[in-house]
Amino acid sequence: MRVDVIMPQMGESIAEGTLTRWLKKPGDKVARDEPIFEISTDKVDAEIPSPAAGFLAEILVQEGQTVPINAVVAQIETEAGQAAVAGRAAAAAAGTKPAPAGVPAAAEKQAPPRTGGPSDGRDRAPAPAAPPASVTAGPPVPGASEVREIPKAALLIGSGATVEDLRRVRSSPVVRKIAQEHHVDISRLRGTGISGRVTKKDILEALESGAARRAAPHLAGAAPGSGGAAAPAAPRSAAPSPVYAPGQRVSLVPMSPMRKKIAEHMVQSRRTSAHVTTVFEVDMSRVMRLREEHRQAFQERHGVKLTPTPFLVQAAVEALKAFPDLNASIEGDHVAYRKDINIGIAVALDWGLIVPVARHADDLSLSGIAKVVADLAERARARRLTPDDVQGGTFTITNPGVFGSLFGTPIISQPQVAILGVGAIQKRVVVVQDAIAIRPMVFLALSFDHRLIDGAVADQFMAHIKATLEQGKFTEIV
């Protein structure tokens, strides 16, 4: 019979492909999985394997032609009729070699549906095969979607296949047939063939020794952790195993791109840096008084409100100048001391979080910082930041205090090495010169990367900030 070879889908956003080269001529014998043509999309060149064994009967798309995905580009003439008979006959005569078309029935039982994770395999071993359509949850396989004779091997490769899966499906048809008849999970057997494949000898020996039978109830889907090879955990983008039981009420909502990015970045940062957090308490009396004194004039002159933020930014900038380690990055086994001081200001949004950057903050006056910060915050909330606005930060300030938090232990924004968290400014009872006083106080928490920065340096840096806020001149406010 004839099998269509189709233009495969090479990605979600890709609607067509250009056939660049035929690797086989009409009449050539092809093995299944043998590359038969090449396509190119953008900067990618890909070899496309044959969906079936047989002869290349007809080429329908010429080199250089661009066709939509799933278009038929050629046909393969298989030896199916003959093979189907041979496949059935093979059950009795394990020595004969069934042709490809005889395989699916066996292969389907061997190939567990991998869509639902381990749990849905519990009654699988001797159970009827799942419909072939459910074998892969992912996008179609190159050249395969319309063809029943597809080697299941090809399908499995695309769905988080483990070494065990590959070993199993790459066993010869004879081995699979024997395995099917005896309800043996090949993936549990020790293989002595190429790449650990289970040979006929292996499976017969196993059956004799009874080892295979004990292995039978094992779920192929639960393979990670078993076998010698470093079995991978589920890839991150794979469907998550549900965190709720059947029947529980839940609404499943895809993460926004921003959420995904934040999630990725946070985990990546935790994995990269050795986070340590140190907390200082700072008396904000002076800052609050200055702010009160200049509030009105500042607003009139600069058109933005004078908040404590520019004071904090300026105090941080002064401290960064004194402790350049805090304004650095680790590059492999080098330290890059950043000559510019670009302060990222975390802005909470209704839909997430973004950290626009006040560039060259060391060149800015207090009013300059106030204006830049106000502009960035406003554009962040209006979704009008440009990519440039959020890149190139060398140090970050985040302000959980606006929601009442006393202090947090923020996560460093990579590739920076420190982040300053500002708690709520609250009037507290403190001891000043052995007298009890009421002062506006704030906790400042610095998370720093202990790979580069030692506690002593971090604390001196914080002491510098504290001194600036409590005693600094803050000239040129207005």
Partner 1 sequence: MRRCLHLYAGLVGYAEAAALQDRCARLLKDGGMEERLLLLEHPPVITLGRNARREDVLHDEKTLRALGVSVEETNRGGQVTYHGPGQLVGYPILNLGPDRRDVARYLRDLEEVLIRTLARFGLQAGRVPGLTGVWAGREKIASIGVHLSRWVTTHGFALNVNTDLSRFGLIVPCGLRGGAVTSMQRLLGRALPLEGVASALVPEFGGIFAREMEPAQDAAPRPPALTEVA
Residues numbered 166-205 forming contacts with partner 1, rule: CB under 8 A: 166-167, 170-172, 174-175, 192-202
**Contact by Cβ (8 Å): 118, 160:** no
- Per CB under 8 A, contacts with partner 1 among 329-368 are 329, 331-334, 336, 338, 340
| 157 near partner 1, rule: CB under 8 A | yes
Residues 385-444 that bind partner 1 (CB under 8 A): 387-388, 391-392, 415
Side chain identity, residue 39: I
Task: Compute the least distance from the CB of residue 38 to partner 1, in Å.
Answer: 7
CB of 156 to partner 1, least distance (A): 9
CB of 229 to partner 1, least distance (A): 5
Only one of the segments 7-15, 127-135, 293-301, 311-319 lies at the binding site for partner 1 (rule: CB under 8 A); that segment is 7-15
From 28, 340, 388, 454, active-site residue:
454
The dihedrals phi and psi of 346, each to the nearest 5 degrees, come to -70, 130
Q: Judged by CB, which is closer to partner 1: 235, or 404?
A: 235
Q: Residue 443: beta bridge partners?
A: 281
Q: How far is the CB of 53 from partner 1 (least distance, A)?
A: 16
Active-site residue 450, yes or no? Answer: yes
The rounded Cα 197 to chain-centroid distance in angstroms is 31
Could you tell me the smallest distance in angstroms from the CB atom of residue 332 to partner 1? 3
**How far does Cα 61 stand from its chain's mean position?**
37
Tell me if residue 205 falls in helix, strand or coil. Answer: helix
Residue of 460, 426, 430 lying closest to 442 (CA atoms): 426
Of the residues 92, 133, 233, 245, which one makes contact with partner 1 according to CB under 8 A: 233
Restricting to residues 44-73, name those near partner 1 by CB under 8 A.
Answer: 44-47, 49
Work out whether 160 is an interface residue with partner 1 (CB under 8 A): yes
Looking at beta carbons only, is 195 or 475 nearer to partner 1? 195
Return the DSSP state at 222. G
Selected from 16, 38, 79, 375, the binder of partner 1 by CB under 8 A is 38
When the beta carbons of 66 and 460 are compared against partner 1, the nearer one is 66
208 binds partner 1 (CB under 8 A): no
168 or 286: CB nearest partner 1: 168
Q: Which of 210, 225, 235, 404 binds partner 1 (CB under 8 A)?
A: 235
Rounded least distance, CB 178 to partner 1, Å: 11
**Dist. CA 417–CA 327, nearest whole Å:** 7
In the complex with partner 1, the residue whose CB is nearer, 258 or 437, is 258
Beta bridge partners of 277: 447
Tell me phi and psi for residue 110, to 5 degrees.
-70, -35
Residues 342, 328 contacting (CB under 8 angstroms): no
* Nearest of 199, 180, 181 to residue 189 by alpha carbon: 199
Considering the complex, what minimum distance in angstroms separates the CB of residue 456 from partner 1? 26
Rounded CA-CA distance 207/186 in Å is 11
Query: Cβ(6)–Cβ(73) under 8 Å?
Result: yes
Element (H, E) at 281: strand 275-283
* Burial of residue 189 (number of CB atoms within 10 Å: 0-12, 13-18, 19+): buried
Active site residue 464: no
Q: Is residue 124 a contact point for partner 1 (CB under 8 A)?
A: no
Q: What is the footprint of partner 1 within residues 269-288 (CB under 8 A)?
A: 272
Q: List the one residue from 66, 159, 426, 460 that touches partner 1 (CB under 8 A).
A: 159
The answer to the question of residue 163 lying near partner 1 (CB under 8 A) is yes
> Identity (one letter) of the amino acid at 408?
G
Binder among 80, 161, 442, 469 for partner 1 (CB under 8 A): 161
- Sequence letter at residue 64: G
Under rule CB under 8 A, residue 261 binds partner 1: no
Q: Kindly provide the residue ranges of all beta strands, DSSP E only, lying in 82-203, ordered along the sequence.
A: none
Which is closer to partner 1, CB of 143 or CB of 440?
143
Backbone angles phi, psi at 427, to 5 degrees: -75, 125
User: Least distance to partner 1 from the beta carbon of 232, Å?
Assistant: 4
Instruction: Extract the tokens encoding 259.
Output: 């959420």
CB closer to partner 1, 206 vs 444: 206
Candidate segments 43-51, 69-77, 278-286, 301-309, binder of partner 1 by CB under 8 A: 43-51
Cβ proximity of 381 and 405 under 8 Å: no
Looking at 28, 450, 459, 464, which residue is catalytic?
450
Q: How far is the CB of 426 from partner 1 (least distance, A)?
A: 37
**How buried is residue 374: exposed, middle or buried, by Cβ count under 10 Å (0-12/13-18/19+)?**
middle
Nearer to partner 1, 76 or 422 (CB): 76
**With contact defined as beta carbons under 8 Å apart, do 397 and 418 qualify?**
no
Torsion angle, alpha carbons of 264, 266, 272, 273, to 10: 170
Q: Which residues are catalytic?
A: 450, 454
